[in-house]
Structure 1
């Protein structure tokens, strides 16, 4: 679903909502690590339990971008089946990526002139032996529970009626009869007016086109609601329509936030293990009290 370059250039010239200091019309949420548990926690736990150098798993997954096995799955180009797990495991055990990972961290000198790169790679310890299939399902399990701070905040934002609430998530399509085939829990999914799933649209973050696609969908949703009954337009209390500068985007990955800023969105970083700070930022942006009474001390 391509967005032409002129549209991208136009969006890049907009100022972010945060910079303008105005209240956003739309709040756009990542899912994993924001609204539900973080799959990165499962990765960290696996590395610690198996004495794997911290950061290796993320590096091995991201290094083949944009056409690694994981990236293709999240664009819906391949199925979640035995072939995926075979390719995923190969990425996790890539000797080339392992050598680069060790070079970057100073654990091995890069091959010097006249030294065969393959020989240098063979001198390293072998890449960690990772059970890719087990790790994948553990990541999905950890990311299946609503976050105890962001999910209640999400419900309050939805109930306020002041904002369009949308999701933009890198996703996978589970086998039809799998327990996870319905995606995120119904109670979380029901909070969103618009939900953009990477595996269903053939684009994934941080590709700029998926952000612009999300804005098009949000804009279309608001305009259709206004055409039918005008309710959402009245709730927003502003001009009909959504532009990138009307959106605040929340994500836990820096590269995804960088692209959001590039296309003109305001951003909030959600830190692993510290979702509360992101909720506090949402309170500042929206003017609403989003932390519960039991969480009031967390504002200090």
Structure 2
């Protein structure tokens, strides 16, 4: 197998994970663990979060619908099914949940302001080698550039230096597709001029990785707080030393 490109997710891989923000919000508001993420996923491709990442809904409309969807009692059933699938004991009762969509999203995005040192260094080494095309494939959203307060609250988007380090920065909001839709990965391959089996794809979310693997991509899961392990695994695949031995933490 000849690898010609390495494709990185952004949130949870190159920068901090919005999932950490979700867990922090749940803890601060005494909500059941993983309740919010289960609720987001259960909305399907027509949920506010999913439509927002495809550029189909504006920011403040998103905040309103996001909060309403996550506050709906129907999410309790999805949460019960989540426990059943995992084989864990189902809670005897699930409390009513009220979510402020704007506050939650601000908390999620605060985590993405931290660039991961290990991953950033690996990207630099891949570029220096001249052997690979290096791309980002990200589910993202349109930043409210006319609203400075909201821009600041959302962290201002992907850091400029990080974004500039990629040969291609492929965004769901511009393409109108989002992971795990196979068409989004196929679009990325077309942009890069490769076949799926010629790419390594790094992401933190299982369903995104499964979709890439089904297309033939080599995949690496970047687990929360364990980016160093993922970079070591990537180095073995591309046969390069990608590890920044000066880093003592996985985050800036």
TM-score, normalized by the shorter chain, greater than 0.5: yes
CA separation of 1:147 and 1:154: change in aligned 2, threshold 3 A: same
Instruction: Name the residue aligned to 1:210.
Output: 184
Cα deviation, 1:105-162, whole Å, max 9, x if unaligned, reads 3225xxxxxxxxxxxxxxx654222222111012112112211211111112112211
After superposing on structure 2, the runs of 4+ consecutive aligned residues of structure 1 that deviate more than 6 Å are none
Instruction: Name the residue aligned to 2:134.
Output: 165
Residue 71 of structure 1: how far off its partner (Å): 0.3
CA separation of 1:101 and 1:214: change in aligned 2, threshold 3 A: same
Residue 181 of structure 1: how far off its partner (Å): 8.8
Instruction: Name the residue aligned to 2:58.
Output: 79
Q: Does 1:136 align with 2:105?
A: yes
Residue 100 of structure 1: how far off its partner (Å): 3.1
Given the two structures, how large is their TM-score scaled by the length of structure 1?
0.75
CA contact (8 A) 1:174 1:181 kept: no
Q: Does 1:101 align with 2:79?
A: yes
Which entry has the higher C-alpha Rg, 1 or 2? Answer: 1
Q: Does 1:92 align with 2:70?
A: yes
Q: Secondary structure at the match of 1:95?
A: coil
Deviates more, 1:275-284 or 1:176-185: 176-185
Whole-angstrom distance in 1 between the partners of 2:132 and 2:78:
45
Whole-angstrom distance in 2 between the partners of 1:205 and 1:215:
14
Cα deviation, 1:232-257, whole Å, max 9, x if unaligned, reads xxxxxxxxxx1111100000000000
Instruction: Name the residue aligned to 2:228.
Output: 276
Q: Does 1:199 align with 2:177?
A: no
Number of residue-to-residue matches in the alignment? 238
Q: Does 1:53 align with 2:32?
A: yes
Q: Structure 1 unaligned segments of length 5 or more: list them.
A: 1-21, 109-123, 220-241
Q: Structure 2 unaligned segments of length 5 or more: list them.
A: 84-89
Q: Secondary structure at the match of 1:136?
A: helix
Q: Does 1:176 align with 2:155?
A: no
